[in-house]
């Protein structure tokens, strides 16, 4: 089996994430700046409003470095998130506790009101 170039693997994962986001109704989702050339977009994938996406498809992830990168690259009004997975695994999302609690409390508020 041929070894996959890590840049190609990352690009494929970014396209996969964008397709997943589009499936969930975020029709503007696409790969970010390094391939589109638009300034002001450091995200690996864009199209989720107020979320900065750092995408990692690696077998051994330095999660703390990845989240630091996401935090450094995020705009002031964006939640930095790392979307990550290994081969033959599902995708996980890592974010800081304060952002997760904000998402959860909003979801709970809506859930309890039947929305």
The reply to whether 64 falls in a domain is yes
The reply to whether 84 falls in a domain is yes
- The answer to whether 57 and 69 are in contact (CB under 8 A) is no
The reply to whether 14 falls in a domain is yes
Q: Could you give the CA distance from residue 8 to residue 73 in angstroms, rounded to a whole number?
A: 22
User: Mean pLDDT over all residues of the chain?
Assistant: 89
* pLDDT of 2 higher than 70: no
Plot region of 7 (φ>0 → left; ψ -120 to 50 → alpha; else → beta): alpha
The boundaries of the domain holding residue 78 are: 6-112
**Percent with pLDDT over 70 in the chain:** 87
pLDDT tens column, 26-36: 999 999 865 44
The reply to whether 1 falls in a domain is no
How many folded domains does the chain comprise? 1
pLDDT tens column, 71-95: 999 999 999 999 999 999 999 999 9
CATH of residue 86's domain is: 3.40.1350
């Amino acid at each position: 089996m041929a070894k996959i170039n890590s840049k190609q693997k990352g690009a494929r994962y970014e396209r996969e994430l964008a397709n997943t986001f589009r499936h969930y109704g975020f029709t503007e989702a696409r790969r970010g700046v390094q391939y589109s050339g638009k300034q002001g977009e450091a995200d690996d994938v864009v199209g989720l409003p107020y979320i900065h996406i750092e995408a990692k498809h690696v077998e051994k992830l330095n999660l703390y470095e990845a989240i630091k990168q996401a935090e450094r690259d995020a705009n002031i009004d964006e939640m930095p998130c790392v979307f990550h997975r290994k081969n033959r695994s599902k995708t996980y999302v890592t974010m800081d506790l304060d952002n997760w609690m904000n998402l959860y409390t909003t979801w709970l508020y809506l859930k309890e009101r039947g929305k």
